[in-house]
């Protein structure tokens, strides 16, 4: 379940990106009741991208933003209450790590769902059913 965390340079203090990834990952696992799950935990991965100032825009105007985008199987982040809770937690994580400087309305969270059967764990393309079965055995 890869997370892409994209930040305009200076949104977070340098070096705090790791803490952001740790907390966002913990939130995803917790909101799904999977904290410590031996299958899911190592399959929640992340990439951090720092965009130079002057390269982020809203409405065509330069600004500083933060984007957290998940790519997950279609059963993950599918429940409305889970989505609301996780997105609020991610927003708070970024806002708090910024020292309260990053406005919450410039923090964006979204999810992209994979087609069933188009998810790879341990070198095997798995269906949603197969992933859920693997998770439940862990």
- Name the domain count of the chain: 1
Separation between Cα atoms, residue 117 and residue 96, nearest integer Å: 37
Residue 77: CB atoms within 10 A of its CB come to 22
Q: Residue 5 has what pLDDT?
A: 98
Query: Contact, 106 vs 65, CB < 8 A?
Result: yes
Separation between Cα atoms, residue 15 and residue 39, nearest integer Å: 28
- Residue 90 belongs to a domain with what CATH number? 3.30.429.10
Q: Residue 121 has what pLDDT?
A: 87
Q: Residue 138 has what pLDDT?
A: 78
Model's pTM, two decimal places?
A: 0.94
Q: Could you tell me the residue range of the domain that residue 100 belongs to?
A: 2-137
Q: Residue 122 has what pLDDT?
A: 85
Per-residue pLDDT of the chain (138 residues; tens, 9 = 90+): 999 999 999 999 999 999 999 999 999 999 999 999 999 999 999 999 999 999 999 999 999 999 999 999 998 999 999 999 999 999 999 999 999 999 999 999 999 999 999 988 888 999 999 999 999 987
Residue 108: CB atoms within 10 A of its CB come to 16
């Amino acid at each position: 379940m890869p997370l892409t965390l994209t930040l305009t340079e200076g949104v977070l203090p340098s070096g705090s990106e790791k803490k952001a990834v740790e907390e966002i990952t913990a939130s995803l696992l917790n909101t799904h009741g999977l904290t410590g799950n031996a299958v899911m935990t190592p399959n929640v991965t992340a990439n951090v991208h720092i965009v130079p100032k002057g390269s982020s825009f809203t409405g065509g105007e330069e600004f500083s933003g933060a984007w957290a985008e998940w790519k997950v199987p279609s059963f993950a982040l599918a429940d409305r209450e889970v989505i609301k809770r996780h997105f609020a937690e991610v927003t708070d994580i970024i806002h708090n790590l910024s020292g309260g400087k990053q406005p919450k309305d410039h923090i964006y969270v979204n999810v992209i769902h994979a087609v069933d059967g188009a998810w790879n764990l341990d070198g095997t393309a798995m269906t949603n059913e197969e992933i859920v079965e693997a998770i439940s055995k862990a």
